[in-house]
Amino acid sequence: MSCVDAIGELETRLGETTLEDVAGRHRRERKELQAKLQAMKKNAPKNNKNKRKEFLEEMARLEGELEQRHKSELEEAAVAPEPIELPVEKPTTVESDNNEDNEVNPTKQQEQRVSKAQKRRNKKEQEAREREQEIRVELQNAANQPSPKQIELQQITAKLSARKLALHMIASDGDCLYHAVRHQLQLHALPGHSVQELRQETANYVRAHKDALICYMTHPDTGDLLNDEQFEDYCHDIAKTHAWGGHIELKALSSLLRVPIEVIQAEGASTLLGQDEFGGAPLIICYHRHIYQLGAHYNSTMPLE
């Protein structure tokens, strides 16, 4: 192998994989996974509790495996490559009976050629090291920055602390709203209900107040108001599946339980439903946008010890 070929091979090896390549590939893989999870979420079974549970577990597993693999690959790519010794081709000896210059000049020319190649190699290696160091600094700075989840938790915790309250964590299983309300009923020594009872009573309330509520109910894909068939499907999902609950379900729960419900979130004022109708101490729950990647979530609260 000639000296020039060795330089070309070395430059190819130096450019194979860098932190920049790894970070770019990770961004693409995260986007692809999110698209896959959204497709899985749309196709998730609504009427089969076991299948729904398996679906949620599979989504969590995929996210965990991707995160673990990305972490390992970043750690491997962050290791600076060891200097690679470039083989230097020995100058060929030119035999001549003429004069000494014929013996010395080819060697000097070869040394000059290798020296220029070495300078180019050193320059490329230095640029690669500087680029990778910049990427490591950027990644470290990003790691040190609080995530949206951390910022949201800090803001909600601060609001609760000011009111002598603390978070009570609720499992993320699609029933978080109903579990949070059930916990509040127990905390306030109010008549208890199971999650399934709360779901069934909420569905009954929405059906009974269709004329007042349907003007606020839109299809998640088209944005159009629900027709009669879609409205009945909506009520069925409340009662028989793990469909996530929102403002309509909160309004229904406040009315059928005849108790105010206050929803605290990170930004903006809290939402208070039923205060004018019922009065008294409200049930206090928290709404999170970023705590889980699969969607919004509700937690309960409890007195700060």
C-alpha–C-alpha distance, residues 236 and 278, integer Å: 28
- The residue behind tokens 């349907």 is 214
Please say if 21 is a catalytic residue.
no
**Strand pairing category for 261-264 and 283-292:** parallel
Please say if 297 is a catalytic residue.
yes
- Cα separations (Å) of 28 from 22, 23, 42, 135, 148? 10, 9, 21, 17, 20
- List Cβ neighbours of 178 (8 Å cut-off, separation of 6 or more): 195, 198, 199, 202, 245
3-state secondary structure of 243: coil
- The residue behind tokens 């970070």 is 23
3-state secondary structure of 18: coil
**Active-site entry in 176, 179, 183, 286:** 176
**Active-site entry in 179, 183, 193, 297:** 297
Please say if 97 is a catalytic residue.
no
**Active-site entry in 21, 101, 173, 233:** 173
Active site positions, annotated: 173, 176, 297
